[in-house]
Every structure is written in structure tokens, then in C-alpha cells.
């Protein structure tokens, strides 16, 4: 749809959106679920960055976290299991002007969607992925996921999980063209917001793992970290995480880490206790796939209409007046 100049001028004076303008359906997540904290941080980000709802897209697969697009009053695509990233990449490739976010879970991303996850890192397209990691399949009622800790008793591992958990951070940091990797925990909402803000402003594929609580199936999983702030390692840096005075008093276990140091980032990503929180790696110089594939044609309404008509003409049943009539039509 073409926007008239007068409407553009009016929009310049109407950039502000209230928080309620991004709130979609009432969330159906369990009380205490970490997804609620992530949703609040994202809606705050959209408001503070003045993102136009009609220019913002949330894409998801299947799982508790993948209900996310329903709770945002923006465009959304609730895809099939593990296939959120191909959809998001298609959106970004054809509409690079849109703000694209992906919400996926530890099962959706790290199991059935693992191949798409790896190649999304390699493509480095400009979008933000939030990995909601609660260490368990919640939607399908307590099955072991790829990130479940060894020994976890679940409906699929009644004697305990046999394998060590997959580490999404070290895997992502090992993929060619990786450009942004960060980790947050849902019980520090201020940091969740700060990290998502940095991820949004990064020009490339931002991978943000958010460790979150599942009060229904793993209610005590992170109690030790909640009750002992020293078991959280805050990674601070002028190009990374900046802690407020209040958080500095509580979370005293801090280490300065330069996000450009990928070797040190991989070392920190391997630590599970204390949990490292902050920006592990950030390299804004990595090329983006959509730039290399950018069409020389602007996708104007006229250009899109011409493309559609060209495709429709392939199936048109023409009258029997001959080639001249076809050319005239």
C-alpha cells in the first residue's frame, strides 16, 4: 500500500506507542514461568525503540515459548516444529525493512530445528533470536530436552538422562560467521532487557540464550542460583553489559570481558556454575547474507503487482482470437 506524503508527515509526529499497543492476547503461560519475564522485556523494548507494530514480526515454532507471537500485537507467524528460522529468513530476505524476532525453545531450536539454527548463525541475517531454555519439554509435559542436565528424571528418562546436556552457547560460538552471542537469566529482568536491547541494535544474527524457570515441571531447578547471587557471573564491559548500582550491590561476582575476544568467550560459555550472564561475543564486522543477496529492484507495490501478474499469466486461459489478442491482453 502506498503511503501519501501527508501521512508520512503525520507519522513523524506519532512515533510514540504505549506499552498496551504491543500487548496481544492474555498470556496462558503458568504463573512464575520465565516466558512472562521475557515477554515483558520485549514489549518494553518495542515501546522504547518506537517500533511500529506493522513493521515488526515475531516468528516461532512449536512449544511453550512459541506461543509468543500470539501475545504481541504485531505481525506474527506461528510455524511448525523447528522451522521458525527458515520462515524468519524468508521474511527478512524479501522485506529487509522489517524488524524480525524469533522465539524458540530448547527443544524447538536444539533438537528438530538444530540444522536450521546452525545455518542461521552462518547466514548472519539481521534478526534477533531468543532461545527460551528451561531444560525440559514443557508443552508436551516433562520430556527430556537436549539441554536437560544429566540424571534428570522425566517422562522419557524415568531412570535419569544418560547424556551430558548440549551447550547452545559453545555450539553457536563454534559456527562460522557468528557475530553476536549473549546469555541472560529470567530472574534478573533488568539484565534481560539490557541484553535484548544490545541484541536488537546489533546488525546481524543476534543469538540470545535466556535461561528460564519452569514452575510446573522443574520448580526447584534454579533455586540455588536464586538464593546465592555469587553463583551468577556478571560479564561487564564498556561494549557489553553495564550493571546498575542496585544490581552491583547484589551481584558482586563480576568479571570484565571484552566481547571481541572469541577465545575467551568460548571459555566462559563452557562454565555452568557460576552461570555467565552478559554479552559473550559481539563482532559487528561480519557480513550479512541479505546484503549479498539484495535485489537491485525496490519492492514497490508496482514491482510486486507486476511479479504477481507475470505468474498469473502463466495459467491464464486465453480466448481463441490468436496471438494478437494475447499480446493486446
pLDDT in tens, 169-191: 999 999 999 999 999 999 999 99
Give the number of domains in the chain: 1
**Greater confidence, 176 or 306?**
176
- 302 within some domain: no
- 195 within some domain: yes
| Domain housing 252 | 14-288
pLDDT value at 13 more than 50: no
- 325 within some domain: no
Range among 15-19, 201-205, 238-242 rated most confident: 201-205
- 296 within some domain: no
Per-residue pLDDT at 302: 83
| 184 grid coordinates | 541472560
- 136 within some domain: yes
CA–CA dist 206, 196 (Å, integer): 9
- 8 within some domain: no
Give how far the C-alpha of residue 207 lies from the chain's centroid of Cα atoms, to the nearest Å: 7
Per-residue pLDDT at 10: 47
pLDDT value at 271 more than 50: yes
Q: State the pLDDT confidence band at 314, using cuts at 50, 70 and 90.
A: confident
The pLDDT tens digits of the residues spanning 81-125 come to 999 999 999 999 989 999 999 999 999 999 999 999 999 999 999
CATH label of the domain that carries residue 181: 3.40.50.970
- 51 within some domain: yes
Range among 9-18, 289-298, 316-325 rated most confident: 289-298
CB 198 within 8 A of CB 182: yes
CB 138 within 8 A of CB 35: no
- 309 within some domain: no
Once rounded to an integer, what is the mean pLDDT over residues 222-240?
Answer: 95
CB 211 within 8 A of CB 187: no
* Residues whose CB is less than 8 angstroms from the CB of residue 297 and which lie 6 or more positions away in sequence, other chains included: 303
How large is the angle between the packed helices 84-94 and 114-123, nearest 10 degrees?
30
Per-residue pLDDT at 133: 96
| 59 grid coordinates | 516468528
pLDDT value at 139 more than 90: no
- What average pLDDT does the chain have? 90
User: Which of 141-150, 173-182, 184-193, 307-316 is the least confident region?
Assistant: 307-316
Amino acid at each position: 500500500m502506498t503511503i501519501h506524503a501527508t501521512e508520512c508527515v503525520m507519522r513523524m509526529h506519532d512515533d510514540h506507542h504505549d506499552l498496551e499497543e504491543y500487548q496481544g492476547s492474555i498470556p496462558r503461560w503458568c504463573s512464575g514461568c520465565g516466558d512472562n519475564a521475557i515477554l515483558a522485556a520485549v514489549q518494553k523494548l518495542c515501546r522504547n525503540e518506537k517500533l511500529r507494530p506493522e513493521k515488526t514480526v515475531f516468528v516461532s515454532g512449536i512449544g511453550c515459548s512459541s506461543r509468543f507471537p500470539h501475545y504481541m500485537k504485531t505481525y506474527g507467524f506461528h510455524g511448525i516444529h523447528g522451522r521458525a528460522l527458515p520462515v524468519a529468513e524468508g521474511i527478512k530476505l524479501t522485506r529487509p525493512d522489517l524488524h524480525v524476532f524469533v522465539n524458540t525453545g530448547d527443544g524447538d531450536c536444539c533438537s528438530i530445528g538444530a540444522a536450521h539454527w546452525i545455518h542461521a548463525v552462518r547466514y548472519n541475517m539481521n534478526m534477533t533470536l531468543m532461545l527460551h531454555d528451561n531444560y525440559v519439554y514443557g508443552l508436551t509435559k516433562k520430556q527430556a530436552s537436549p539441554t536437560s542436565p544429566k540424571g534428570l528424571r522425566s517422562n522419557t528418562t524415568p531412570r535419569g538422562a544418560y547424556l551430558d546436556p548440549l551447550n547452545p552457547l559453545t555450539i553457536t560460538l563454534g559456527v562460522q560467521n557468528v557475530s553476536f552471542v549473549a546469555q541472560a537469566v529470567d530472574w534478573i529482568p533488568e539484565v534481560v532487557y539490557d541484553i535484548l536491547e544490545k541484541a536488537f541494535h546489533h546488525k546481524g544474527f543476534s543469538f540470545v540464550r535466556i535461561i528460564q524457570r519452569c514452575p510446573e515441571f522443574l520448580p526447584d531447578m534454579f533455586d540455588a542460583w536464586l538464593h546465592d547471587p555469587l553463583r551468577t557471573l556478571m560479564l561487564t564491559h564498556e561494549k557489553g553489559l553495564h550493571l546498575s548500582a542496585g544490581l552491583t550491590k547484589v551481584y558482586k561476582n563480576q568479571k570484565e570481558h571484552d566481547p571481541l575476544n572469541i577465545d575467551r568467550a568460548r571459555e566462559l560459555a563452557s562454565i555452568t556454575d557460576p552461570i555467565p550472564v552478559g554479552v559473550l561475543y559481539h563482532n559487528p564486522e561480519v557480513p550479512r547474507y541479505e546484503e549479498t543477496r539484495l535485489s537491485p529492484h525496490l519492492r514497490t507495490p508496482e514491482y510486486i503487482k507486476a511479479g504477481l501478474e507475470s505468474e498469473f499469466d502463466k495459467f491464464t486461459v486465453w480466448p481463441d482470437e490468436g496471438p494478437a489478442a494475447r499480446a493486446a491482453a
